[in-house]
Copies of this chain bind each other. A is one copy, B any other.
Amino acid sequence: MTDLKLQVIPLGGLGEFGMNITAIRYGEDIIVVDCGMMFPDAELLGVDLVMPDLTFLKENQAQVRAVILTHGHEDHIGAVPYFLSEIDVPVYGTAFTLALVERRLEEYDLEKEPRLIKVKPKQAIAVGPFKIEFIHVTHSIVSAVALAITTPLGVIIHTGDFKVDPTPTDNELFDLHTLADYGKRGVLLLLSDSTNSDRPGYTESERAVRPRMEEVFSRSENRILVSCFSSSIHRIQLVLDLAEEYGRRVAVIGRSMVSVTEIAHAHGLLSIPDGILLRPQDVMGLAREKVAILVSGTQGEPMSALSRVAVDNHKHISVDKGDTVVLSSRIIPGNEKAIFRMIDHMSRRGADVMYGSMNPPLHVSGHGSVEEMKLVLNLVRPRYFMPIHGEYRQLTKHARLAEHLRFAGLEETFIMDTGDVLEFDHHGARKAGKVTVGHVCIDSGSVEDVVQEMVIRDRRLLSEDGIVLPIIAINRNTGKLESPPEIVMRGFQTGEDGPAFLDAARQLVIKTLEGSNHEEKTDWGVMKEKIRADLKRHIVKQTSKRPLIMPVILEV
């Protein structure tokens, strides 16, 4: 019998929303499960993306053997390029998941060719002392898996994200049998998705969205716009199917929607009826009752396709009286204001905007509710349980749930924070210290529809390039500037020609404002983002510096 210890170390995603990444170490071998990013809070000004701090893995670089991915959502794969730029190991995942990783990798310029290794559900691989079996689960994205990781000290089940959909639209059921098998043979530790632990009951099947969507297609006499997360292949398939049935052609709008649709189609995961696709530039030329539009931007992101359509600032598409707009997605907390503003813009144009809770629903969650969590706990019946994926309140609720079940054999539940180490040996499990974790903030340098080189820089470096605060006083009613914009700079060197540089920056802000329509001008979120993007392009070009740019808008 060996004295080696097994450690499970969440490096992101616990006590925070997004950025899921977990290290599992046995002796001197580490595997990393998932490698996600998060989108920054509005409060985190001047930053595009947030990645996990990889200090712990870099310090133990020689031990890291592989990254294992559960599915292709950004909070599970978004930091893979950043990871590979630091640590070169093979990446395992399903074909579709890896295709989404490749799409992200195209924006980077890595020194070494990435090693992406495709796996399939029911397949098992060996990495160092670990045997890893992939188990198909149902989720809002296709090709999602859970992991059964056999270690010398016992089996770890990592659910990834899941719901238990009894009637998935692609008929690919959650492989509960394999999960049950592991449970029967004995599981050391369960790591299970806590996202919806505050929702009672069962999450509705993806199929539940069809009746509402069908009603829209059957009664609408004008254009139909459907917005969903671009990775919701099931939802996109539904729109394509209904469009064919009701004699409409479909335009796909928005960079992420277009590319994910192409990838899913190339992998045989999306069936596109012949001749149904319509080029965006042809939409306005076709009869209104013959068109459906799939458009990205459900969260009201200021520069997204749907936000631009809402303020009539999209190249090809506009919303008119009688059109129906369906927001088939949830509202991510923090985005309410931006989303409701977008809905109001479209309502003012006369569109019937469908959003929020309805019965039948416009959207169903991809995460299981309390009853599904109980099912997984009862099937796996682990000795130890660690809720993952969620803020502290969700982890706590999931932990309580497990303790209420009191199934035979559960010895202890660990509510862990990102960075806490859970250690196992032959005597049992315990928390054993902390490792370095944190957030690395990224300035992407990319603007929607203009793919540029993505620059990985941390926030500390960014602020070494200084800070630029454009201060703009806008009259809310007229949308006009009340005084010339002020540009405040700190720690940012413009070179010799300071006053001229400032003046050019000021002119640029004025130009950005003048180039915006009334609705944009009175929408602070949009204006801040436009000013930031335009100034950034200008400053990088003029000085090759990347200061933090934080527009301050005063309403007067």
Residues of A near any B CB (own CB < 8 A): 15, 41-45, 198, 200, 333-334, 336-337, 340, 343-344, 347-348, 352-353, 355-356, 358-359, 391-393, 396, 400, 437-439, 441, 459-460, 463, 467, 469, 471, 473, 476-477, 482, 486, 488, 490, 524-525, 548, 550, 552-556
Q: Judging by beta carbons under 8 Å apart, are B524 and A556 in contact?
A: no
Q: Judging by beta carbons under 8 Å apart, are B556 and A459 in contact?
A: yes
Q: Across chains A and B, which 3 residue pairs bring their CB atoms closest together, nearest first?
A: A333-B336, A347-B393, A344-B392
In addition to A41-B337, A344-B392, 12 A-B residue pairs with Cβ atoms within 8 Å of each other are A43-B337, A43-B524, A333-B340, A336-B336, A340-B391, A343-B393, A344-B391, A344-B393, A348-B392, A459-B556, A463-B473, A552-B552
Number of copies of this protein chain within its complex: 2
Q: Judging by beta carbons under 8 Å apart, are B396 and A347 in contact?
A: yes
- Given A438-B477, A476-B439, A524-B43, do A471 and B460 touch, yes or no (CB 8 Å)? no
The residue of chain B having its C-beta at the shortest distance from the C-beta of A439 within the complex is B476
Which residue of B347, B469, B477, B555 contacts A552 across the interface (Cβ within 8 Å)?
A: B469
The residue of chain B having its C-beta at the shortest distance from the C-beta of A53 within the complex is B477
Measured between beta carbons, the chain B residues less than 8 angstroms from A41 are 337, 524
Measured between beta carbons, the chain B residues less than 8 angstroms from A392 are 344, 347-348
Q: Judging by beta carbons under 8 Å apart, are B463 and A556 in contact?
A: yes
Measured between beta carbons, the chain B residues less than 8 angstroms from A477 are 437-438
A391 vs B355: C-alpha distance in the bound complex, in angstroms?
14
- Given A45-B552, A333-B337, A476-B439, do A344 and B15 touch, yes or no (CB 8 Å)? yes
Chain A interface secondary structure, helix, strand, loop or mixed?
mixed
The residue of chain B having its C-beta at the shortest distance from the C-beta of A351 within the complex is B396
A97 vs B556: C-alpha distance in the bound complex, in angstroms?
32
Q: Judging by beta carbons under 8 Å apart, are A471 and B476 in contact?
A: no
Q: Judging by beta carbons under 8 Å apart, are B43 and A554 in contact?
A: no
A554 vs B352: C-alpha distance in the bound complex, in angstroms?
41
Which residue of B439, B525, B548 contacts A554 across the interface (Cβ within 8 Å)?
A: B548
Measured between beta carbons, the chain B residues less than 8 angstroms from A400 are 352
The distance from the CB of A238 to the nearest CB of chain B, in whole angstroms, is 22
A524 vs B490: C-alpha distance in the bound complex, in angstroms?
21
The distance from the CB of A543 to the nearest CB of chain B, in whole angstroms, is 20
Q: Judging by beta carbons under 8 Å apart, are A200 and B43 in contact?
A: no
Measured between beta carbons, the chain B residues less than 8 angstroms from A524 are 41, 43
Measured between beta carbons, the chain B residues less than 8 angstroms from A348 are 392
The residue of chain B having its C-beta at the shortest distance from the C-beta of A45 within the complex is B552
A-B contact pairs, 14 of them (CB 8 A): A41-B524, A42-B42, A43-B524, A45-B552, A200-B358, A340-B391, A344-B392, A348-B392, A439-B476, A460-B556, A469-B488, A471-B490, A488-B488, A488-B490
A355 vs B512: C-alpha distance in the bound complex, in angstroms?
43
